[in-house]
Structure formats: C-alpha cells, structure tokens
C-alpha cells in the first residue's frame, strides 16, 4: 500500500456542501486560546480587555489580506498570468510575516486612537501571537505543506516521532523533513521562556517582552526556513523570510540595548 493513502484527510467535514478544512479549525482554535490569554493578561495589566477584542476584530481580517498580499507580491509573475488565483487562499499561499506587518499597523492605529502605550499592547499580544504560530504550523501539517527536503524513514524514526507524523511526512513519493514541527517546537520553547520570565520582578521593562519575541521567533524562523523547499525568494539563493528574519533579529537587539541605556521605561510587572 502506498504511504500516500495513509495521509490524514485535510477536510474535517462537510457543512451544507461546504468543505471545512482542519487547517481553518486549527488556526481558529489557536486564535481563540491566544485571545483569551491576551485578555487575561490585559486585565492583569489594568487594561480594558475589550481593547484586545477590538484588535482582533480589526486586525485579523487585515492581517489575512496582508499575509496574502505579501505572498502574491513575491510570486507576482504567476498571479499576473493567473489573476483569478489571487483571491483563492484555499489553494495555499499566505505568509506569516505579511500578516504580522499588517497586524502591527492596525495595533499602532488602535493604540493611537485609544491613547494606549503601543509597547504595553505589544507586550500583551506577543505571547498570544507566538501561540498562534505554534498551533498554526499543525494546520500546515494537516495540509502536508511547509515541509523540508527529502529524508529517510530511518532518520524520522530516530527522532522518536509518533507514527502518524511519520506517515504524514510521506509526500509525493518520499519522506520529508518535518520543518513544521521544528518551528512549532522551537516557538513552544520560546513561549514557555517568555511566560516564565515576564513574571520575574525587575527583569523585563515595558516593551521587552515583545522585543524578546522579536528576537526569538526570527531566530527560529531563519534556521527552519533554510530547510524548507517552498520558500519565497528575492533572487536565486536568497530567501525572503531569512532576510526579513535577520533584519528583525538585529533591529530587535538594537532596540533592546538602546531602550535600556537611554529610556526610563517602567518595569513590565509594575502595576
């Protein structure tokens, strides 16, 4: 029997003739847990939790547009030749960095209108975003996407992976590196560290929870992206996400050092 026949069905169920994908269900579950987590932290930080709901209400649709636009821009020749494919996100093709950039702009506008510190809002939102990225990669797993180069069954078994993951990594006649898993686990480690460390007294100043996220995630993404086979490229050999990850990593470290030396920000845990 071909291992392709053992792949998990990306369709969860049909609702009135509409196919409901596991990808969407998994993303929605991650988003829901992330929103609840952010609202609880907002309340602890004496911020109205409704600001989180408003950020989600406005930010999610615009982030989806940003994620799609980012992907389309770097695959422009294909979409110019096939303009009808631009809106068909169910065929694949959204980029997390595009969504993050769009959501960041929405956050800044919202904070300006509500007279909220954007650094505080970013500190509250960052762990939830990282959680969404952790969970979202399992949506890629269900779709058999965001995988790496060909590998062997022996290698996958040496990682002591559950059998269902090994089976799902048999794609187009070959076993593949589970890069979705590497990124998900790497981000999970980062999330645990951030959640533990942010509660330490006089460790993080305002804005530094977010900057820690902005250091950790790009570092993980840079290395995992180098293993993937579906990357967007600026030019041959130069991957878009690796360049952006490197820029964000350097900028975040620079901001961290500059703000510590020159700005008298309150401690994150000062209520």
* Annotation: binding site: 137
Please name the residue ranges forming H helices in the chain.
22-44, 50-74, 76-81, 96-114, 118-143, 153-158, 163-168, 179-197, 208-225, 240-262
The single residue listed with the structure tokens 């309150």 is 266
Would you call 161 helix, strand, or coil by DSSP? coil
* CA separation for the pair 100, 163 (Å, rounded): 33
> What's the Cα-to-Cα distance from 89 to each of 128, 162, 172, 251, rounded to whole Å?
24, 30, 22, 31
Q: How far apart are CA 203 and CA 134, in angstroms?
A: 25
Contact at 8 Å (CB) between 35 and 53? yes
* DSSP string over 64-128: HHHHHHHHHHHTHHHHHH-GGGTT-GGGS---HHHHHHHHHHHHHHHHHHHT--HHHHHHHHHHH
Q: Under a CB-based contact definition with an 8 Å cutoff, are residues 108 and 79 in contact?
A: no
């Amino acid at each position: 029997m071909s291992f392709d026949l053992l792949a998990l069905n990306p369709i969860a169920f049909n609702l009135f003739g509409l196919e409901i994908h596991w990808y969407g269900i998994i993303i929605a579950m991650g988003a829901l847990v992330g929103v609840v987590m952010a609202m609880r932290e907002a309340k602890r930080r004496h911020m109205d939790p409704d600001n989180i709901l408003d950020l989600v209400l406005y930010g999610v649709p615009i982030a989806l547009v940003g994620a799609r636009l980012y992907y389309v821009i770097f695959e422009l020749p294909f979409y110019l030749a096939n303009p009808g494919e631009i809106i068909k996100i169910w065929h694949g093709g959204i980029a997390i960095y595009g969504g993050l950039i769009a959501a960041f702009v929405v956050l800044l506008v919202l904070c300006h209108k509500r007279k909220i510190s954007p650094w505080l809002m970013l500190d509250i939102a960052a762990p939830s975003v990282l959680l969404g990225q952790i969970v979202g990669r399992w949506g890629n797993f269900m779709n058999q996407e965001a995988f790496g180069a060909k590998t062997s069954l022996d290698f996958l078994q040496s990682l002591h992976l559950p059998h269902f993951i090994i089976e799902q990594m048999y794609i187009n006649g070959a076993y593949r590196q589970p890069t979705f898993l590497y990124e998900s686990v790497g981000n999970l480690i980062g999330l645990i560290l951030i959640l533990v460390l942010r509660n330490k007294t006089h460790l993080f100043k305002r804005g530094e929870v977010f900057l820690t996220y902005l250091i950790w995630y790009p570092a993980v993404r840079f290395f995992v992206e180098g293993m993937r086979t579906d990357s967007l490229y600026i030019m041959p050999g130069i991957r878009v996400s690796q360049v952006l990850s490197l820029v964000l990593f350097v900028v975040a470290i620079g901001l961290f050092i500059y703000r510590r030396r020159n700005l008298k920000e309150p401690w994150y845990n000062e209520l």
